[in-house]
């Protein structure tokens, strides 16, 4: 028991590496927040564009989402970081990680939003159109509000699962929390920094699940 405590809750080690972990925490938090905002926004925009059923555009969207859903995020980050310079584009590891994970989240989110849009009853479209609202007005005023509310639970799950991939940014030298924790762990020959990182993840993701549950109940209406 003592050895366990010493291995995971060594106060001395924790105090020593806490400042580093906190630095990493902010990097992870920033990356996670950026990925969530831009990933969900892009996913929603793509789903809305897809609703307009323009053939060529839809094919492009489907290729995009299938690609980014199929490839492991790690591969996307590595290809972006080490491949893009050959195309003359040099981006920071942080930026590449942000972009890659945003695209992955957008791909999954688009699929979820799209499923939401198509699951709204055809009668809703007809009722709205019959009063003179146009296609886009109907989409935004009638269909999307219903679609988005239906998608909150699956969307939260996906968002959390994908956002945890911020840890992958370590491969392109981003000093995010888990990278810092691993380095500290090696120096200290003790896993207590990892405990700190775990707490850090809880601090980031617990509010997210609570928030989503709040939104869900707030917008729920009886069927």
Instruction: Give the footprint of another protein on this chain (CB under 8 A).
Output: 121, 123-124, 126-134, 137, 141-142, 145-146, 149, 219, 221-223
User: SS3 sequence, 52-109?
Assistant: CCCHHHHHHHHHHHHHHHHCCHHHHHHHHHHHHHHHCCCCCHHHHHHHHHHHHHHHHH
Q: Which is closer to another protein, CB of 7 or CB of 146?
A: 146
Min separation Cβ 52 and another protein, Å = 16
Q: Helix, strand, or coil here: 1?
A: coil
Min separation Cβ 214 and another protein, Å = 17
Min separation Cβ 146 and another protein, Å = 6
Q: Which is closer to another protein, CB of 55 or CB of 122?
A: 122
Q: Which is closer to another protein, CB of 56 or CB of 131?
A: 131
With the CA atoms of 106, 110, 113 and 115 taken in that order, what torsion angle do they form, in degrees rounded to the nearest 10? -150
Q: Which is closer to another protein, CB of 22 or CB of 136?
A: 136
Min separation Cβ 157 and another protein, Å = 23
- Smallest CA-to-CA distance from 215 within 147, 139, 144, 156 is with 156
């Amino acid at each position: 028991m003592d050895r366990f405590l010493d291995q995971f809750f060594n106060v001395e080690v924790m105090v020593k590496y806490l400042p580093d972990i906190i630095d990493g925490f902010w990097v992870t938090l920033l990356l996670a927040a950026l990925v969530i905002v831009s990933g969900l926004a892009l996913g929603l925009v793509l789903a809305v564009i897809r609703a307009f059923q323009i053939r060529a555009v839809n094919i492009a969207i489907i290729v995009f989402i299938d690609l980014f859903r199929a490839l492991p995020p790690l591969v996307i980050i590595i290809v972006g970081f080490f491949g893009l310079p050959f195309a003359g584009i040099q981006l920071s590891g942080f930026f590449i990680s942000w972009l890659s994970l945003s695209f992955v989240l957008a791909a999954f989110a688009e699929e979820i939003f799209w499923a939401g849009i198509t699951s709204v009853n055809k009668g809703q479209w007809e009722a709205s159109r019959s009063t003179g609202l146009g296609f886009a007005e109907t989409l935004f005023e009638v269909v999307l509000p219903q679609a988005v509310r239906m998608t909150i639970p699956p969307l939260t799950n996906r968002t959390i699962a994908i956002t945890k991939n911020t840890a992958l940014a370590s491969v392109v030298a981003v000093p995010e929390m888990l990278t810092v924790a691993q380095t500290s762990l090696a120096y200290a020959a003790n896993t207590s920094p990892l405990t700190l990182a775990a707490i850090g993840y809880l601090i980031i993701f617990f509010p997210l699940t609570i928030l989503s549950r709040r939104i869900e109940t707030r917008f729920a209406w009886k069927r």
